[in-house]
Structure 1
Amino acid sequence: MSAIPNAASVAVFAGDSVLLIRRARQPWLGRWSLPGGRLEPGETAPQAAARELIEEVGLRVSGLRPVRLMRFAEAGPFVLQVFATRAYTGSVALNEEASAYRWVQPGALAELETTPDLDVVLDEARAVLDRC
């Protein structure tokens, strides 16, 4: 039985680098993660992912490819649908949900304190985009 997502995030790639934000709120305050958030009533996961990217980092995304579903119990149970894309416009402008951002190259992730399984998620996201 497949779970229905109530949150979405996006791995936005520019070349080999991926956009990460440092979380300014719980859960995982201070950890590096993908931008995203909870679905609003009536939204699909892709709609929420696109909205969250505009709100959190100021980027408009398209061509979202599903990567995986992740289940978390922190801050209330939620099911996160992770997407990946290379198609975006705009420049990064953070809102209050992120304290910093960086474009991270493969291999540099080990230097950062990240949300759970981010390394695995990014490997899967790259594989999904490489198949497109």
Structure 2
Amino acid sequence: MRYPINFCQVCGGPMSDRLAYGKTRRVCSTCGFIYFEDPKVAVAVFIEHEDRILLVRRANNPERGKWALPAGYMDAGEDPREAAAREVREETGLEVEILTLAQVMGPNEFGTSLILIYTARATGGDACPQDDVDALCWLGRADNPPDLAFDSTRVMIAAWKNGA
């Protein structure tokens, strides 16, 4: 859920809806500043090791208690590959080498506009739950997935199980 922009970040004047550049946008009634809503970008990381993939159990909402790929939001000005490696490190303690951009998805019902899903391989560290994760598991191809949190995780697991 996005909160409305009611006051101009440039001059503090009141914002109102107006047609600008082919779309209704928030425009300052005082100085004319046009607010462009930026997409919220997340990164997720698909780590395979010895024919198993790493999943994390979410400790916070949304989807608390469900399983997902290590993931999180990019910071402004951050390189997407660095954001992906950072999220893995923050959530699992693992250092990874980002290999490929495997999938681009979006939007989802949780406010993310764009999800960049990378493949990676672990290069160091000790896998243990950290940050907003309370458990880790390595899922094998023959294993039934646990209760999954996001479509991005479902799509990647299905492709992996089908040999893609």
Unaligned runs of 5+ in 2: 1-38
Greater helix share, structure number = 1
Q: Does 1:96 align with 2:138?
A: no
Are the aligned partners of 1:16 and 1:106 in contact in 2 as well (CA < 8 Å)?
yes
Q: Are the structure 2 counterparts of residues 48 and 115 from structure 1 closer, same or farther at C-alpha, using a change threshold of 3 Å?
A: same
CA distance in 1, matches of 2:97, 2:53: 15
The Cα RMSD (Å) is 2.2
Unaligned runs of 5+ in 1: none
| Residue identity in the other structure for 2:117 | V
TM-score scaled to structure 1, two decimals? 0.81
TM-score scaled to structure 2, two decimals? 0.67
CA distance in 2, matches of 1:124, 1:19: 15
Structure 1 residue 115: deviation in Å? Answer: 2.2
1:39 matched residue in structure 2:
74
Q: In terms of Rg, which structure is larger?
A: 2
Are the aligned partners of 2:42 and 2:116 in contact in 1 as well (CA < 8 Å)?
yes
CA distance in 2, matches of 1:116, 1:76: 12
| Residue identity in the other structure for 1:88 | T
CA distance in 2, matches of 1:109, 1:8: 24
2:155 matched residue in structure 1:
120
The sequence identity of aligned pairs, in percent, is 30
| Greater length-normalized contact order (CA 8 Å, ≥ 6 residues apart) | 1
Encode CA deviations 1:86-127: one digit per residue, 9 max, x unaligned.
3431111322311111111013234x1002333431344685
Moved over 6 A (4+): none
Choose from 9, 16, 33 the match for 2:51.
Answer: 16
Are the aligned partners of 1:20 and 1:102 in contact in 2 as well (CA < 8 Å)?
yes
Question: Aligned pairs, how many?
Answer: 124
CA distance in 1, matches of 2:125, 2:91: 12
Are the aligned partners of 2:40 and 2:112 in contact in 1 as well (CA < 8 Å)?
no
1:25 matched residue in structure 2:
60
Alignment of 1:56-95 (within 5 A): 56-95=91-130
